[in-house]
Structure 1
Amino acid sequence: MSKRKKAAHPESLPASALYRVCDPSLLDFTTTAELQDDGDGPGPALGQERAVEAIRFAIGMRHRGFNLFALGEEGTGRRNLILDHLGEAAAARPASDDWVYVENFAEAAKPRALRLPAGRARVLERDMAHLVEELGHALPAAFEAEDYRVRRQMIEAEAKQQRETAFTAIQEDAEAHGIALVRTPTGLGLAPSKGDEVLPPDEFKQLPEETQARLRAEMERLQQRLESTIKLVPRWDRDMRGRLRELEREVVGHAIAHLMDDLKGDWAELPEVLAYLDEVARDVALSAQDFLPESEEPERRAEGRPHGHDGRFRRYRVNVLVCREGDKGAPVVMETYPTQPNLIGRVEYIAQYGTLITDFNLIKAGSLHRANGGYLVMDALKLLMHPFAWEDLKRALRDREIRIESPGQAMGLMSTLSLEPQPIPLDLKVVLVGDPMLYYLLSHNDPEFGELFKVSADFDWRMERSETNTSLLARSVGALARKEGLRPLDRGAVARIVEQASRDVGDSTRLSTHMASLADLVREADYWAGEAGADLVVADHVERAISASTRRLDRVRDSVQQEMLAGTVHIATEGEAVGQINGLAVLELGRFSFGRPTRVTARVRFGKGDVVDIEREVQLGGPIHGKGVMILSSFLASRYAAELPLALSATLVFEQSYGGIEGDSASSTELYALLSALAEAPIRQSLAVTGSIDQFGRIQAIGGVNEKIEGFFDLCRARGLDGSHGVLIPADNVPHLMLRKDVVEAAAAGLFAVYPVENVDQGMALLTGHPAGERDGDGKFPPGSINRRVAARLGAFMRRAEELSVPRPLNGMGRNGA
């Protein structure tokens, strides 16, 4: 041990470097009840200045394609921040227009869309309902009026007189020539007569031939005249019906004139509504009989439109698609279930007489309709998970119109009678919220994405731990407490939350912007304060909330540690061993992660220069892990065999590892084990190592440094700390240290140490107690150094390779043979 004391290695970090404390005295309040909100505008954006700039730019940019994609981790407050800014912008804009669908009297399958000023859609709906009601009273009264009945009777009488006059003339002509006009079951006929009687056939045959011929010629002439007259009867009937229709239209026109004039006066400023009302007036005139009692005929029921007690008048209804009545400002719509029908709208059907039928009254609005003129916010992943929704959204944004069309209709798979509603012009800003990977995948794989979503708001998951941001965090905590009716927090509790925010991001110089986690911590601390009967949340309540949250999630961690303590998983924390070292890994279970010590071993022998990673050979090691092994192989060859072949065969393995291994944070650990095996220098098992390595032997920063240190600490503490235990970490990870309180206390007591390491030589000196050694002017390492022993071992392997490469004599004699 005396040699170890003389060996040069980095000093352990002081306890103050293991945890950055937030001094409560630096906070300028006593409790969060003293902190005031900013007012009605958007709340403070913690560490999201870049994202806020992008949001404001997207809102202000009115040109085509400048829709927004907000990317960032879930829980960073993306939605709330976006909705706050959208709400502020929407309040400053005028209310959007109303939209309704009405009957297209020229082509019922293509309903017309009408744009109305905000709040006027319901007015038009009520006006049309009132019109139909009034027509139901006015028209029957008009048709029951004496003037109408008299004029109708006159027209019918004139038509009847016209028919009678024509047939009377034929009858008189026939009688003048001795021929009678008789009625038969099949119609009118002609026959010879004798006085007032029809001449029987036998008597007709007794007449002179000249008389018979004359009568036959007259009957043929009269038959032609009769047939010509009969052919004119349908025309006379049509003329009569035409005159009756003209009379009906005239009567209807007079009956509804004052109703339509009053209605048009109310909508005089909207030409499209006036045109629609003119069409209604024409249709009412043509369909006046529909307003008469018991006039719903079976043939009208077969028109392919729904009906009921008011089915005759459905075509005069107004289908209010979007109404902004009572709205102030532009709409802000959050679509939580963005299916294709919920997005662009749909046409519903009803079953009637065994058939699915529809009309314009069954057109339903989608979120694009409701958000038109304002802002629509959706979750990008949910949008992409629903068939046809993404493509229809892009079509709507590209064409700047909302076209309601079912997927089956678009693909030609529907045989049911459907509608083609008139497309509605679209003018809105779409905001998609998703994780960064989804954004980059869409950018790479969808050519239209970049044209339609030109603005990205990148939400950071951490921010600088500055006085300003600490103050903003405190204000956010205070605002949450007031909003949810929680107890105020004193400055000590806020300071502990600030420290935990650094712990969450694994960096003492930064704070977490994962507001969901911090909000949950405040709520849980309030719960424990309530359990303690306190009126104020203090640091102890926050600490208890953190401990309780960990307790609920650490069953697996305890099980892993119990396996190590029982000896089922072999992890040594005392003594020395050649080619064996304690590595550190992190296991993630949801949002909970913990460190797990693992045993790494190395074996070396004479060979062809191969460093075999057993994990990779059995396909348990990922590509990044394999890259780390190749880097350490490159370092080994460049340092010890730059000009000579590396006659080495080595194997590396994570012992008792039964799952996949990924990452390069153990590459330095594997190199230490390999150098120990080559130098035959035992490694202290009371130490654990983490860190990646480059080709020059520098130790590089890794992730999860706090969890890794604590994982080894927990095992050592369970077995008993004696001052020899510690962890080697990359020196670049020192600013990331935010260790638990018990680890810091053990370090302060000299029972546990954390060593910052910059390169492999420092790590080997600390692990073995022997200096690594540097080359002198002749390129040789000092005697007794680790590097000297490694070089000597590799030199021996090389000489052995040379010996084996010498060809044997032909006579079979050995090298010393006579």
Structure 2
Amino acid sequence: MVCDPVGLSFETTADLQPTTAIIGQPRATKALEFGMGLKSKGYNIFVMGSAGTGRSTAIRHFLQERCGHEPTPDDWLYIYNFETNHRPQAISLSPGQGNIFAEHMKRLVESLQSTLTQALESSSYREAVHALDQKLVEQREEMLDELDRKASGQGFDLQETPSGLMVRDVSEDDGPEANGDANESYVRRDTQRALQSELQNILREVRILERDAREERRRLDREVAEAAIQDEFDTLREQYAEQPVLRDFLDAMREDLLEQVTRAAPTPDDRDIDQLIDLRRYEVNVLVDNSAGAGAPVVVQLNPTYENLFGRLEYESQGQAVTTHFTQIRPGDLHRANGGYLVMYASDLLRQREMWEALKRALKAEEIEMRPPQSDGPLIANTLWPRPIPLRLKVILLGNFNSYDQLFYHDEEFSDLFKVRADFSDTMPRHPQHEHSYAEFVAARSQEEKLRPFGRDAMAKIIEHGARLAEHQCKLSTRFGAIADLAREANYWAGSVGHEVVTAEDVRAALDERTERASHETELLSEAILEGAIFVATQGEAIGQVNGLTVRELGDFTYGHPGPISARTFMGDNGVIHIERETDMDSPSHQKGVLTLNAYLGGTYAQRQPLSLNASLTFEQFYGWIDGDSASSSELYALISSLSQLPVRQAISVTGSVNQRGEIQTIGAVNEKIEGFFDICRARGLTGDQGVIIPTTNIVNLMLREDVVDAVRAGQFHIWPVSTINEGIELLMGRPAGEADENGEYPEGTVHFTVKKRLRELATELKSFGDEHPRDEE
């Protein structure tokens, strides 16, 4: 059906307001709104539809328009866990507060570093430390000096050895004879042992004094550090007084910092705070920052790997091992989309079963858990197991019927997690509102991609092409990807001839050039037919032969071409045999069509006589795969012609499936089939009696090329719609098909009369042959 440009209410698409709304999908839109509105667990959305319908782009725009009215989710941060340091703590803050808190912490750490350095380098601190050290030294020396004087009075002294202080007998320096008799020697040894025991007691007391000194030093360090950092912590703690989580973190941080300072116990010569204590643990890892958000986030993930969805831990080398830190936790799209919507393709997830299982676990548990990696590489010195983050989002999966069917029937958890299905139709009704929406869509593409404006005559051609894609005069295709491609290509051809506005000729050029680029195989096939290598007659008559029509697809290019279907009938009782079926070159749907032929023959001719025949059918010179039953009416015409010995007009090609009652049924690709036969006829010369028989129900699907329409209008080519086999018989064979009377008999001179007569003859001849040539008994 032609689109009249006069009926379009604009001069060019520049006059229109571009739209990013979902066009012509009220059912899907309603389902999306329902799924978005219902926040209960498990109400994720599966968007089902064909590829190329623009689902991803349309849904992204749809979500972004509506998500602006939803609350912006919180920021998410990871902070140090003072209780379990390998499990960083996750906290949430109001949108934008995450970076503010991180900046506050950064300034706090910088200030603490400076304050502690000053405190620990102050003269008062140095003097206090020196006093503690001096006191310990004096106490130690006092006790040892007293023992040394006592030992000296008895001929002994204290000597440093590799194993420590020992009591030495000075008389041993004069040789063995200086020790006197044996009794005196025993007495000196007892005295030495007593002094050594006393020395050990003193050394034990010294160690106690050293321990007490260390404790006193720790108390001093803590007092000095606490006094230095008190104001800084009090200020920040007061700022976050209404946020218990942050207040508790600051308290824990303060205690940990003091504990680190007391453990470090720096000497006056070592004042590098970074080397004394770990300040990095007080940093804040802002995992998700929603400060720039205006509503719920929308994330489209085209490569859903584990790291892309769940995030990752980054590692750094340390010698032969690698290590990590909670500041090296990186977010995934589950984190970024949390509180909003995550859009993915089902096919991508189905190719990664482990990823699909991990996603289901997250949706069931309603939390994002980043598990430590199982490394087969370098030794991991330490790793982390971050605390899980609560998950509150809608997952929207895009897929076709097959992927939905696979998930629904083969994954028992799928129906519990994806309770909303939004069906995107491949077509929409063709009425003025949707035609106008087509123009608004093209206007949006023009604005977004800086294309030329489209005149209304150009839009009329695009609308007609949309109806052709839909294969229906009263419908338009929703494959907006294809419409956008046509707009881009038409804009290119408009530019090549200097048009400032895209015209109908530019759209026509885009379509013609697209066909030209893809039609190499079509040309080779046409050459083979025209040169006679493939036998296709377009004039004259033949018995048992009908021009059928087949369709081939090369990617996004579909074309039709004719091919003879021949039938041979002879005596026997095996029924109809299709050569392609016997050689496993056809599909079950084609086999069903062949079996339907037997049913038609029996119902039409064998109510009061047996159906005894052998019949052979084949697609001549066709060696590819045969799918579908759209040639079943052509096959039936060929059988009837062979049985009746009545010739079939070869100027007519036929398409249409048939049921057991002889009614002609709808087929697909009717336009491509007609155009394929038309091209061959035109190449040989149109005679005015050539044409195609199609099912009457396919009239509404006719959206033919302009040259075909012109030839039909001029009477050079014909399209004959038929509803029954009888109508086709009369067109192909030029005589009445015949109607059965109450006895099931047909008028003499009709096609059915001739066929039935021949079948009766075959049955009689078969019986006579059997009587004359009985089978040998085994």
Report the TM range for the smaller structure's normalisation.
Answer: over 0.9
- For residues 57-88 of structure 1, the C-alpha deviation after alignment (integer angstroms, 9 at most, x for no partner) is 11111111111122212222212221122112
Q: Which runs of 5+ in 2 are unaligned?
A: none
Distance (Å, rounded) in 2 between the aligned partners of 1:293 and 1:452: 64
- The CA deviation at 1:101 is 1.7
Q: Which moved more, 1:229-238 or 1:495-504?
A: 229-238
Question: Aligned with 1:472: secondary structure?
Answer: helix
Match of 1:281 in 2: 254
- The CA deviation at 1:192 is 5.8
- The CA deviation at 1:570 is 0.6
Residue identity in the other structure for 1:206: D
Q: Does 1:566 align with 2:543?
A: no
Residue identity in the other structure for 2:348: K
* 1:93-172 aligned within 5 A: 93-171=70-148
- The CA deviation at 1:535 is 3.3
User: Is the contact between residue 582 and residue 597 of structure 1 (CA under 8 Å) also seen in structure 2?
Assistant: yes
* 1:308-319 aligned within 5 A: 312-319=278-285
- For residues 775-802 of structure 1, the C-alpha deviation after alignment (integer angstroms, 9 at most, x for no partner) is 1233211112111111111111111222
- The CA deviation at 1:201 is 4.2
Match of 2:223 in 1: 250
Match of 2:717 in 1: 752
- The CA deviation at 1:498 is 1.6
- The CA deviation at 1:510 is 0.7
Q: Does 1:775 align with 2:751?
A: no
The match for 1:260 among 205, 227, 233 is 233
- The CA deviation at 1:199 is 7.9
- The CA deviation at 1:436 is 2.5
- For residues 464-497 of structure 1, the C-alpha deviation after alignment (integer angstroms, 9 at most, x for no partner) is 1122222222333334334433333333222222
Distance (Å, rounded) in 2 between the aligned partners of 1:294 and 1:573: 107
Q: Which runs of 5+ in 1 are unaligned?
A: 1-19, 301-307, 811-818
Q: TM-score, normalised by structure 1?
A: 0.89
Distance 1:193 1:417, change over 3 A: closer
Question: Aligned with 2:47: secondary structure?
Answer: strand
Distance (Å, rounded) in 2 between the aligned partners of 1:237 and 1:598: 107
- The CA deviation at 1:676 is 0.8
**Percent of residue pairs identical:** 41
Distance 1:239 1:708, change over 3 A: same
Residue identity in the other structure for 1:612: I
Q: Does 1:354 align with 2:330?
A: no
User: Is the contact between residue 22 and residue 59 of structure 2 (CA under 8 Å) also seen in structure 1?
Assistant: no
Question: Aligned with 1:408: secondary structure?
Answer: coil
- The CA deviation at 1:294 is 8.8
Distance 1:414 1:199, change over 3 A: closer
Match of 1:553 in 2: 518
Distance (Å, rounded) in 2 between the aligned partners of 1:101 and 1:402: 13
Question: Aligned with 1:118: secondary structure?
Answer: coil
Distance (Å, rounded) in 2 between the aligned partners of 1:46 and 1:250: 71
Distance 1:472 1:356, change over 3 A: same
The match for 2:27 among 50, 54, 57 is 50
Residue identity in the other structure for 1:204: N
Question: Aligned with 2:673: secondary structure?
Answer: helix
Distance (Å, rounded) in 2 between the aligned partners of 1:117 and 1:809: 97
- For residues 445-473 of structure 1, the C-alpha deviation after alignment (integer angstroms, 9 at most, x for no partner) is 11112111111211111111122222222
Distance 1:643 1:219, change over 3 A: farther
Distance (Å, rounded) in 2 between the aligned partners of 1:416 and 1:183: 46
Distance (Å, rounded) in 1 between the aligned partners of 2:265 and 2:137: 27
Q: TM-score, normalised by structure 2?
A: 0.93
Distance (Å, rounded) in 1 between the aligned partners of 2:213 and 2:266: 22
User: Is the contact between residue 331 and residue 372 of structure 1 (CA under 8 Å) also seen in structure 2?
Assistant: yes
Distance 1:528 1:184, change over 3 A: closer
Distance (Å, rounded) in 1 between the aligned partners of 2:387 and 2:260: 25
Q: Which moved more, 1:670-679 or 1:77-86?
A: 77-86
Distance (Å, rounded) in 2 between the aligned partners of 1:403 and 1:167: 62
Distance (Å, rounded) in 2 between the aligned partners of 1:193 and 1:797: 143
Residue identity in the other structure for 2:180: K
- For residues 176-224 of structure 1, the C-alpha deviation after alignment (integer angstroms, 9 at most, x for no partner) is 7x35242142433335678xx98864332337x3x55554444433333
Distance 1:296 1:790, change over 3 A: farther
- For residues 152-190 of structure 1, the C-alpha deviation after alignment (integer angstroms, 9 at most, x for no partner) is 2232233233333443454455567x3524214243333
User: Is the contact between residue 159 and residue 168 of structure 2 (CA under 8 Å) also seen in structure 1?
Assistant: no
- The CA deviation at 1:23 is 2.3
Distance 1:643 1:347, change over 3 A: farther
Q: Which moved more, 1:374-383 or 1:654-663?
A: 374-383
Q: Which moved more, 1:447-456 or 1:213-222?
A: 213-222
- The CA deviation at 1:607 is 1.1
Distance (Å, rounded) in 1 between the aligned partners of 2:265 and 2:208: 26
Q: Does 1:338 align with 2:314?
A: no
Distance (Å, rounded) in 2 between the aligned partners of 1:355 and 1:70: 46
The match for 2:434 among 469, 483, 499 is 469
* 1:469-488 aligned within 5 A: 469-488=434-453
> How many residue pairs are counted as aligned between the two chains?
772
* 1:736-747 aligned within 5 A: 736-747=701-712
- The CA deviation at 1:668 is 0.9
Q: Which moved more, 1:593-602 or 1:485-494?
A: 485-494
Distance (Å, rounded) in 2 between the aligned partners of 1:33 and 1:101: 50
- For residues 603-662 of structure 1, the C-alpha deviation after alignment (integer angstroms, 9 at most, x for no partner) is 111112331111111111111111110111121123222454432111111111111111
User: Is the contact between residue 569 and residue 614 of structure 2 (CA under 8 Å) also seen in structure 1?
Assistant: yes
Distance (Å, rounded) in 1 between the aligned partners of 2:169 and 2:590: 121
User: Is the contact between residue 594 and residue 708 of structure 1 (CA under 8 Å) also seen in structure 2?
Assistant: yes
- For residues 724-756 of structure 1, the C-alpha deviation after alignment (integer angstroms, 9 at most, x for no partner) is 111111111111111111111111221111111
The match for 1:329 among 282, 288, 295 is 295
User: Is the contact between residue 296 and residue 312 of structure 1 (CA under 8 Å) also seen in structure 2?
Assistant: no
Match of 2:467 in 1: 502
Match of 1:182 in 2: 158
Distance (Å, rounded) in 1 between the aligned partners of 2:637 and 2:276: 89
- The CA deviation at 1:131 is 2.5
Q: Which moved more, 1:333-342 or 1:363-372?
A: 333-342
Distance (Å, rounded) in 2 between the aligned partners of 1:703 and 1:106: 69
- The CA deviation at 1:601 is 0.6
Question: Aligned with 1:516: secondary structure?
Answer: helix
Q: Which moved more, 1:508-517 or 1:642-651?
A: 642-651
User: Is the contact between residue 675 and residue 704 of structure 2 (CA under 8 Å) also seen in structure 1?
Assistant: yes
* 1:584-595 aligned within 5 A: 584-595=549-560
Q: Give me the CA root mean square deviation.
A: 2.8
* 1:65-84 aligned within 5 A: 65-84=42-61
Distance (Å, rounded) in 2 between the aligned partners of 1:434 and 1:491: 35
- For residues 200-253 of structure 1, the C-alpha deviation after alignment (integer angstroms, 9 at most, x for no partner) is 64332337x3x5555444443333333333334433322221221121111111
User: Is the contact between residue 157 and residue 170 of structure 2 (CA under 8 Å) also seen in structure 1?
Assistant: no
User: Is the contact between residue 467 and residue 475 of structure 2 (CA under 8 Å) also seen in structure 1?
Assistant: yes
Question: Aligned with 2:539: secondary structure?
Answer: coil
Distance (Å, rounded) in 1 between the aligned partners of 2:671 and 2:715: 19
Question: Aligned with 2:304: secondary structure?
Answer: coil
Q: Which moved more, 1:547-556 or 1:215-224?
A: 215-224
Q: Which moved more, 1:643-652 or 1:711-720?
A: 643-652
Distance 1:126 1:290, change over 3 A: farther
Match of 1:205 in 2: 180
* 1:676-691 aligned within 5 A: 676-691=641-656
Question: Aligned with 2:473: secondary structure?
Answer: coil
- The CA deviation at 1:310 is 12
User: Is the contact between residue 179 and residue 219 of structure 1 (CA under 8 Å) also seen in structure 2?
Assistant: no
The match for 2:601 among 636, 643, 649 is 636
Higher relative contact order (CA 8 A, sep 6+): 1
Residue identity in the other structure for 2:179: F
User: Is the contact between residue 596 and residue 711 of structure 1 (CA under 8 Å) also seen in structure 2?
Assistant: yes
Distance (Å, rounded) in 1 between the aligned partners of 2:768 and 2:112: 117
User: Is the contact between residue 117 and residue 271 of structure 2 (CA under 8 Å) also seen in structure 1?
Assistant: no
Question: Aligned with 1:588: secondary structure?
Answer: strand
Distance (Å, rounded) in 2 between the aligned partners of 1:515 and 1:657: 35
